[in-house]
Structure 1
Amino acid sequence: MSAPIPTINQSTYPPLRFRPIAIAIGSKTTTASADPIVQNGFWTAAWHRRMEEISAGLGGGEQREGRRIITLPLICIANQEWSVYFAVDRGTSIEMLGPVSMGGTQSIDSAHILLANLRALRDWIKTTFATFIQDWVVTSERNDS
């Protein structure tokens, strides 16, 4: 059996080691040097690499064939506007789709739309994303036995 996973994330920061990060959030201010979609792109590439390492380290390397990493929502905030992109695992590359407006903070109506979208993402994390993480790690562990 393989050694335990030292961290589920691409970060070794202790509070995050065993709490999968489901959504990257990047923000842009007028003084920011990097575009949030670029920041999120780097995060996504690192997260995909970490998921591959976990699969290979737990014996799931051969099983990866045909298995895709879950599509991840990536939130970008620029001033008062919130948008979401989707990072789709195409097998040989990661395709970024979007942006799709999530709402914003410029008005009460826009804030209500944003809140509804954030709640939908919360529900996705608790169901679809949690199931993916469980299946990805448990399936790989079973293949190691």
Structure 2
Amino acid sequence: MINMIENARALGYINAPEDIFIDIDLIRNYNDEQLVIITTGSQGETMSALTRMAAGEHKKVTITPNDLVIISANAALIKFIVDGFKVVSNVATLTINKIHGEISTEVYPALISVGYICGFKIASYMFAGAILGWLVLIPAIYLFGAHT
């Protein structure tokens, strides 16, 4: 992530003052209201930075109930299921260790054509993973994680 930010700044994609990005070791010198933490990775995996932050297991960052967490992910297939079949609500609300979260589905035009970009086989895997996550993993997290 650090290399990506540095490369994006060097190429002119990120135009920000030099002191806007700080080393993670310096975040204790700032109030929470002064910080925006950007993280990347496979969110939801046990070792992802966001999962460790939410569980209180990250070495340097802890998410508190007053923090706002924004997750950007592919929700086009979930949106299709929610709007097309009206099976579930388009917002799932979770509370784990007093940390409140909502999962919502929004579709952007660039995401709708994902099957054409990556091919039918990979789009099928993505669809199957989305179904598994929505119907099995999210309820499991709610049932087993929210009350511990």
TM-score between the two structures when normalised by the length of structure 2: 0.29
Q: Higher Cα Rg: structure 1 or 2?
A: 2
Q: Which structure has greater strand proportion? A: 1
TM-score between the two structures when normalised by the length of structure 1: 0.29
